[in-house]
Amino acid sequence: MRILSWDEFDLCIGTIVNACTENSFCGVYGFPRGGLCLAVALSHSLGIPLITEPRNGCLVVDDVYETGKTLSLVSELIEVTTFVWISKIEPQWWNAVEIVDSEDWLVFPWEDRRFAEQDQKAYLLSRS
């Protein structure tokens, strides 16, 4: 189990900002829940609006790429740049700040650590 910190979050935001400084986005969309934290921080850092739905020409962010189900919802949009903080597979059409083993259980800074083991067990049960 890996407990991620707010300092690591700040580094992630900095990495995405540095990668996107030359881009012009109509806004940033973050998938609920974890992507929203990233989107709010990026909205402030990049000076672009936080938008409520993904659209052509925007920046889309999420906390983790695990199965691909969430990001597949935006794969057909035009001129969209997509970032995840952590990807559990090698990125293909999306960008990842970090790549980890697919078995790693992640606890993001906004999650309650007290429930991490329970969350992990529930997730594993849902996949079996």
What percent of the chain is modeled with pLDDT above 90?
79
Which three-class secondary structure state does DSSP give residue 97?
A: strand
**At how many degrees (to 10) do helices 34-46 and 6-20 cross?**
50
d(CA 33, CA 46): 20
d(CA 10, CA 14): 6
d(CA 118, CA 125): 11
- Binning pLDDT at 50, 70 and 90, where does residue 118 land? confident
In the predicted model, what is the mean pLDDT of residues 29-38? Answer: 95
In the predicted model, what is the mean pLDDT of residues 2-13? Answer: 97
Handedness of CA 122, 91, 19, 69 (dihedral sign): negative
d(CA 57, CA 25): 6
Question: Which pLDDT belongs to residue 112?
Answer: 87
**pTM to 2 decimals?**
0.91
**69-107 pLDDT tens trace:** 999 999 999 999 999 999 999 999 999 999 999 888 899
Question: Which pLDDT belongs to residue 104?
Answer: 86
Domains, the chain: 2-127 (3.40.50.2020)
Question: Which pLDDT belongs to residue 54?
Answer: 97
d(CA 121, CA 80): 34
Question: Which pLDDT belongs to residue 113?
Answer: 83
* Residue 56 confidence (pLDDT) above 80: yes
Read off the amino acid at residue 97. Answer: V
